[in-house]
Amino acid sequence: MHGMKEIIQEAESLPVEERAIVIDSLLRTLNPPDVGIDKEWLKVAKRRVVELRSGSVNPVPGNEVFSKIRERFGR
């Protein structure tokens, strides 16, 4: 049986896509998915796509959003 350090070293040597799968799998053991919440997020995402495509809302570039956050919270 591998110890924690060996497991981490082994995981770090994996390709990035496989590391993401390992991380996702581990996180799901700490915070299991809730089908109801996932369905609600899917509704929100679909509504937002429709809003963007219709032009009823204007997208804000990510760097602009993060800049405002840094200004507001002093980082």
Q: What is the pLDDT of residue 31?
A: 87
Q: Residues 41-63: pLDDT tens digits? A: 999 999 999 999 999 999 999 99
Whether 8 has a pLDDT exceeding 80, the answer reads yes
pTM, 2 dp: 0.52
Instruction: Show the 3-state SS of 17-43.
Output: HHHHHHHHHHHHHHCCCCHHHHHHHHH
Q: What is the pLDDT of residue 66?
A: 95
Pairwise CA distance, residues 65 & 60, whole Å: 7
Over 80: is that where the pLDDT of 38 sits? yes
Task: Quote the mean pLDDT of the chain.
Answer: 94
Whether 51 and 57 have beta carbons less than 8 Å apart is answered as: yes
